[in-house]
Every structure is written in C-alpha cells, then in structure tokens.
Chain A
Amino acid sequence: EIVLTQSPGTLSLSPGERVTLSCRASQSVSNSYLAWHQQKRGQAPRLLIYAASSRATGIPDRFSGSGSGTDFTLTISRLEPEDFAVYFCQQYGSSPYTFGQGTKLEIK
C-alpha cells in the first residue's frame, strides 16, 4: 500500500501568513489522484483539493495544490482565522486508499 508522509506535524502561524504543507508518497500516486481534506474539531472533514490541483466546489482560491508522482503540496496564500485546522492528504488511485497523518495549523 502507498504510505503518505506529511510534514511538518504542527505549524504555529499568524493570520495573514502564507503556508505550504507537504505530502510525500512511498510510491507514485496513479494519475495524481491525490486529495487534501480539512478537518476541524467536532466537524465533518471537508474536501479542499482533488486530482492534486483542482479546487473542490466552494473552496476559496487562497487554497491551491500542486505536485505529481510522489511529492505534493497544499498552499494557503493568506491564512484566515477559520483556516486553523488539521489538513490531511489522501490518495485514491490505488487500493487501499491511504491517508497521511495530518498537519495541524495552530495560531501563534
């Protein structure tokens, strides 16, 4: 199975800053079938990015994704207060689906 490794585990940042999160796969992700989800405490996870770089419906354009093969990134161009959450990557190109451990963004 494909193992996804996210780094860093936690980031302390201020609103308005730019941030780039990393997701590295143990083998190539088929057709860049890589998604990013946002998870807030007590809420349903929300799909942000699919196919590595396509924004899901209703997602603000400050969120962007890039990458291919084994290296993927999620960038938030300017952090808003509501963006402080956990972000995890997920590959859906091969079975079993696998997820990263998540990166937590916390307010500095």
Chain B
Amino acid sequence: QVQLVQSGAEVKKPGAAVKVSCKASGYTFSNFGIHWVRQAPGQGPEWMGWISAYNGNANYAQKLQDRVTMTTDTSTNTAYMEVRSLRSDDTAVYYCARAYRPLQYPLDYWGQGTLVTVSS
C-alpha cells in the first residue's frame, strides 16, 4: 500500500534552516510528484510547492520561493523540503502528499505531518 513517512518534529531558532524528509513506499516513486503543504496553528492548509520525482523539476509558491528548496533522491525514494531563514510564522505542521502531475491531479496520499516549531 502507498505510504509516505515523514521525519520527526523539529525545534529551530529564528534564522535557522530546517529540512524535512518524506520517504515513499508502495508505488513507483519516479512516476509521481510530491507536493508540500503546511498548516499553521488554527489555519487552513497552505500549498508550498511541487517537485517531480521523475526529473526533479520543481515549482514553488511565490511567497516562499526565495526560502524553500525541494529535492528528491530516487535511490532511496525520498523527497526533501528545506526552509531557510526561519521565522516564527513558519511554525506549522508540514505535510508531503503525492500527485501524478503538478496540476489537474488530486493529492491522493499524504504523509503524517512534521511539526516544525520556530522559537527563540
């Protein structure tokens, strides 16, 4: 069965960086892409971007594109998402989710989420 297993919770200081991993199993990793979505406390989800596991092409939400990098490692079927220059409003649960293509295909499986807390 399809599973996306994310890395554990992180606590970071403002200005630091965090890298979250998402290990996929149960399907051919390179046939799909991975979206990253975050949800701050008490708010709705926010789309961060998408990366193709086939060729590594990525596109990012405009407000985050200067601070976010998404990558994949097809040898371990793992996607990564790094946020730099962390601020307090980056505190959120970060999710990875699978989709066949960047548009017009739903997010059909989600990871369990990774809580990132930014605090001095």
Q: Which residues of A contact B (CB under 8 A)?
A: 30-31, 33, 35, 37, 43-47, 50-51, 56, 88, 90, 92-102
Give the secondary structure class of B's interface: loop
Q: How far is it, in angstroms, between the C-alpha of A35 and the C-alpha of B103 when the chains are bound?
A: 13
Known contacts A43-B112, A44-B111; is-contact A92 B46 (Cβ 8 Å): no
Number of A-B residue pairs with CB-CB distance less than 8 Å in the complex they form = 63
Q: Which residues of B contact A (CB under 8 A)?
A: 4, 35, 37, 43-47, 59, 61-62, 95, 97, 99, 102-113
Known contacts A88-B45, A95-B59; is-contact A50 B106 (Cβ 8 Å): yes
Is there an interface contact between A98 and B106, defined as CB atoms closer than 8 Å? no
Complex contacts, A46 vs chain B, CB 8 Å: 110
Name the one of B102, B103, B108 contacting A47, with C-beta atoms under 8 angstroms. Answer: B108
Nearest A residue to B44, CB-CB: A101
Known contacts A90-B45, A99-B44, A99-B45; is-contact A35 B106 (Cβ 8 Å): yes
